[in-house]
Structure 1
Amino acid sequence: MKVLIVDDNPKALAIAKARLKKEMLEILCVEDGKRCVEIARKEKPDLICWMWTCRIYPVLKCVRP
C-alpha cells in the first residue's frame, strides 16, 4: 500500500514516516499542497494523509476524479 503524507512540519513527517514504515507501507512525504498534487498524480497513492491545519481544499479539487 502506498501512502502520501502531507505536513508542513518536517519533524512530524519524519515521525509519521518512521511509524508507518514499520507497517511495511510505501511512504511518500511532501511539505506543501502543490507538491502533493504533483506526487498524487504521478504516484497514485492508495491513501493521502494530511495535517488538518494544512490548506488542502485546492488539492482535493485537483486530485478528485
Structure 2
Amino acid sequence: MMIGVRLTLSVVALLAVVFRDRIAYLMRIWPRPLGSVSCATGGIAGLVLVAVAALEIANWPAST
C-alpha cells in the first residue's frame, strides 16, 4: 500500500512541475489570450456560483 501512495505522490509531483513549466511557456508566448481566457473563466465561475446561490435561496422556504 505504501508503494502505491509513494507512486501516486511522485506522479502528481512530476505532473505539477511539467504543468507549471508548460503554463509558464504559454504565458511567455500568448500572454493576452491566456489572460482573457483566465478572466472569462473567472467570470463564468462567478455567474455559476450566483446562479446556484439564487436557486438555493429560491428553494429555501420549501425545504423548511
TM-score, normalised to structure 2's length?
0.26
Higher helix share: 2
Question: Highest Rg: 1 or 2?
Answer: 2
Higher strand share: 1
Q: Which has the higher contact order (CA 8 A, sep 6+)?
A: 1
